[in-house]
Amino acid sequence: MGCPACGCADVRAAYHEAQGGLEVLRVGELPDPEPGPGDVLIRVRATSMDRVDVYWREGSHGMRLRWPQHVGGRDIAGVVEAVGEQVEAVAAGDRVVASGERTHATLALAPADLTFPLPDGISFEAGGATPTAGRSAHQALIEKAQIQSGEIVLVMAAGSGVGSFGVQIARALGCRVITTAGTAEKRSKAVELGADLAIDHYNDDIVTAVRDATDGRGVDVVLDHVGTPVFAAAVRSLAPEGRFVTCGVTAGHLGELHLGQLFVKGVTLMGVGRPDNQRIAATMRGLLAMIGRGQVTPVIAAAFPLEEIAEAHRLMESSRFFGKIVLTP
């Protein structure tokens, strides 16, 4: 059966009906997504893997299947196929980038208020790598921590999707950037991306390295998404009045905090939260403008066709990549 809005063919998607290892992943035909009045139906040219897709597939971090046939992904770059009756801002044929759901598929839906023109000269792969990781880094650094030119920012794990955007955003705002990564190759890529210093987060003492690099003062802002293994060091790396902002807990959600450090240093702890669509849209417009101006370039680690979804999950689990893993349905 074709899509009732546009008569297109069935959607082909990567999905899983159970949680577990890579063997639960399937690729096949699923019922068409049907746009509601405020939705945009997009032919997906590129989407990406987020760490949460692995959590959903393996059942970790408290993730339960959202649908009987769970399709991962939230990022979309593609061409508008059809729009709901209330949508006026975009039309069939437009090249767009969007935040939707069930995007590891040939067709996906996004709300019109989270669908934006793909900047001129930006590839579908770059667009598809951007929304979730890029807006989290942008929101954490610009909206929450309100980084200022001349400040020193510590971005944890530069090789991650969030970190690869975070390093570039902080640099573009005129900050000095210190980052971390688990391999020499990643640390060298982080410096190429704009970091002034890359610390080995497994073998170096992060606090000592930060103090050595900042004349003992510490950093103004930490962007974290790793969690437990780096939390104490992140807080101790802050300068007086420093700001810590988190958008994820890849390696554990519990952290030990010496409250004395908060009141003595006047430190602020923040999380990105769950902004409404209006705020996400404002963030996305700011980020896409930076990408359009060439201040931020999404880093594509690898691109896989939909049929190789298991390879994409395997690569993400291995952490042997720098930037974003893209799918090209």
Measured CA to CA, the distance from residue 21 to residue 179 in angstroms comes to 32
Residues paired with 176 in a beta bridge: 152
Among 15, 40, 45, 50, contact with ligand NAP (rule: CB under 6 A): 50
Nearest alpha carbon to residue 133 among 108, 163, 104, 173: 163
Is residue 230 at the binding interface for ligand NAP, with CB under 6 A as the rule?
yes
From residue 295 to residue 324, what is the string marking binding to ligand NAP with x (rule CB under 6 A)?
A: ---------------------x--x-----
Is residue 277 at the binding interface for ligand NAP, with CB under 6 A as the rule?
no
Strand, helix or coil for residue 297? coil
Helix axes 228-236, 206-213, angle to 10 degrees: 30
Is residue 232 at the binding interface for ligand NAP, with CB under 6 A as the rule?
no
Q: How far is the CB of 256 from ligand NAP (least distance, A)?
A: 15
Measured CA to CA, the distance from residue 313 to residue 315 in angstroms comes to 5
74 with 100: CB under 8 angstroms? Answer: yes
Among 247, 290, 296, 312, contact with ligand NAP (rule: CB under 6 A): 247
220 with 234: CB under 8 angstroms? Answer: no
Among 102, 104, 144, 225, contact with ligand NAP (rule: CB under 6 A): 225
Contacts of 7 (CB under 8 A, 6+ apart): none
Is residue 251 at the binding interface for ligand NAP, with CB under 6 A as the rule?
yes
Among 16, 51, 176, 243, contact with ligand NAP (rule: CB under 6 A): 51
Nearest alpha carbon to residue 323 among 139, 176, 137: 137
| Of 30 and 296, CB closest to ligand NAP | 296
Contacts of 245 (CB under 8 A, 6+ apart): 140, 141, 144, 145, 221, 222, 223, 224, 270, 271, 272
For ligand NAP (CB under 6 A), the number of binding residues is: 27
197 with 157: CB under 8 angstroms? Answer: no
Measured CA to CA, the distance from residue 171 to residue 296 in angstroms comes to 9
Among 105, 181, 213, 281, contact with ligand NAP (rule: CB under 6 A): 181
| Of 5 and 300, CB closest to ligand NAP | 300
Interface stretch with ligand NAP, choices 178-186, 211-219, 260-268, 302-310 (CB under 6 A) = 178-186
Is residue 96 at the binding interface for ligand NAP, with CB under 6 A as the rule?
no
Scanning residues 110 to 169, which ones bind ligand NAP (CB under 6 A)? 132-133, 136, 157, 159-162
Among 24, 52, 269, 303, contact with ligand NAP (rule: CB under 6 A): 52
Residue sitting closest to ligand NAP (CB): 248
Kindly list the residues in this chain that would bind ligand NAP in the complex (CB under 6 A). Answer: 50-52, 132-133, 136, 157, 159-162, 181-182, 186, 201, 225-226, 229-230, 247-251, 272, 316, 319
